[in-house]
Amino acid sequence: MLRTALSRATAAHRFALVARNASTSAPATTPAPVSLGNIEASWKSLTPTEQEQTFKHLEELQKKDWKELSLDEKKAAYYVAFGPHGPREPIQADGGKTLMGVTAAVAVAGLIFYMVRKGGKETPATLTREWQEATDERLREQRSDPFTGASAKNGASQVAA
């Protein structure tokens, strides 16, 4: 009984030692699952697992001193963090649809304007020269606005000007 207890204790001690050495002897960073040189071009073709592994790898790299990182690693870290993928992906990449939509909307608005103008009367009766002169005469009779209007001293009306 004492022998089994001692053998178990030594086995547990050996296992703990191996586990501790394995954790300290592991490399600081694991190699990236994909090349970080042109991550912008290859990001969309990666599987979600590879994307996650690359993200984790870059996360570990960013914990180091930034002066030690290569330019490709810095670019890859920036692209993965802020690049146009996922929720930041542009909704509409093609501007042709937008241009056609705006052109169609302006054309429909122009057609509606033309139809309203065509269906309405030519000119209202109150915009004829005779109507304006009659209005001017009536204002003079009423002596309205004696300073600048139809009843002004100089007699020049601004209504029928």
Residue with tokens 């300073």: 147
Token pair belonging to 27: 């490399």
Residue with tokens 């009536």: 138
CA 114 distance to own-chain centroid: 36
What is the pLDDT at residue 23?
A: 42
CA 68 distance to own-chain centroid: 34
Q: Model pTM?
A: 0.40
The residue ranking higher by pLDDT, 12 or 87, is 87
C-alpha 138/C-alpha 147 separation (Å) is 16
Do residues 72 and 37 lie in contact, with contact meaning Cβ atoms separated by under 8 Å? yes
Q: Count Cβ atoms below 10 Å from residue 125 Cβ, excluding itself.
A: 8
The per-residue pLDDT for range 29-88, each reduced to its tens digit, is 556 667 788 888 888 888 889 888 988 998 998 898 888 888 988 888 888 888 887 777
What is the pLDDT at residue 150?
A: 65
What is the pLDDT at residue 25?
A: 41
C-alpha 63/C-alpha 69 separation (Å) is 10
What is the pLDDT at residue 19?
A: 46
H helix runs in the chain, sequence order: 2-25, 39-42, 48-62, 71-82, 95-119, 129-142
Do residues 62 and 77 lie in contact, with contact meaning Cβ atoms separated by under 8 Å? yes
